[in-house]
């Protein structure tokens, strides 16, 4: 292991206990989303993990000082292919939780596409053609999460034959109910994770 044992102990403490619990701190969520929007690229270093190799995921200390986390499902199946402690990497911001940024490693060597929600390249290109940046679409909320004010929204063609799930976030107390239909604008098309980001128009 690189680094002093004291520093490693401190990192372990930061990535254990209450630091990993999700709360409803709307101000912290809003601040994190403002500084590191979902889909943006950030850099950080792998911290010493409190878990066994190949289990749970990897803690990350971002260059901004924020705490990040890479889920085991975003990493190669073989733990010996995981990035090492102190490695400095670029990540895509997947999701915000209070006090934690969920991350996707951008280097293909550090993730396994079979573990992710990827579709064939031509299908993804078709999605982007149907939902171009800036387009206004109708969507229905299929899942909502009060812990981080985020929801999955189903976007479908007029005849309902072509659908795609997008991600949106809301300010505190503005999260819509499951089943609510509204108008959204497409704000992001992320090739690395094949995600569509949207924002409510009202």
Question: Residues 139-183: pLDDT tens digits?
Answer: 999 999 988 899 999 998 766 667 899 999 988 778 999 999 999
CATH number of 121-200: 2.40.50.140
Its pTM stands at 0.81
| Structural domain spans, the chain | 5-115, 121-200
Superfamily of domain 5-115: Nucleic acid-binding proteins (2.40.50.140)
Domains 5-115 and 121-200 alike in fold: yes
In sequence order, what DSSP letters do the residues of 147-198 get, joined into one string?
TTTEEEEEEE-TTSSSEEEEEEE--TT-PPPTT-EEEEEEEEEETTTTEEEE
Question: Residues 99-150: pLDDT tens digits?
Answer: 999 999 999 899 875 655 678 889 999 999 999 999 999 999 999 998 889 9
């Amino acid at each position: 292991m690189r680094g002093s044992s004291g520093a490693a102990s401190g990192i372990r403490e930061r990535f254990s206990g209450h630091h990993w619990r999700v709360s409803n701190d709307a101000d912290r969520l809003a601040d994190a989303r403002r500084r590191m929007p979902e889909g943006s690229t950030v850099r950080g270093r792998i911290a010493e993990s409190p878990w066994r190799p190949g289990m749970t995921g990897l803690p990350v200390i971002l260059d901004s000082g924020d705490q990040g986390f890479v889920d085991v499902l975003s990493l190669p199946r073989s733990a010996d292919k995981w990035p090492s402690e102190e490695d400095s990497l670029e990540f895509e911001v997947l999701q915000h939780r209070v006090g934690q940024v969920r991350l996707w490693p951008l280097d293909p060597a550090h993730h396994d596409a079979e573990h992710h929600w990827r579709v064939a390249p031509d299908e993804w290109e078709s999605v982007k053609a149907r939902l171009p940046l800036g387009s206004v679409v109708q969507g229905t909320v299929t899942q909502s999460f009060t812990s981080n004010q985020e929801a999955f929204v189903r976007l479908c063609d007029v005849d309902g034959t072509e659908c795609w799930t997008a991600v949106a976030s809301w300010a505190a107390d503005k999260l819509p109910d499951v089943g609510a239909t509204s108008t959204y604008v497409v704000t992001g098309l992320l090739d690395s994770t094949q995600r569509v980001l949207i924002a409510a128009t009202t």
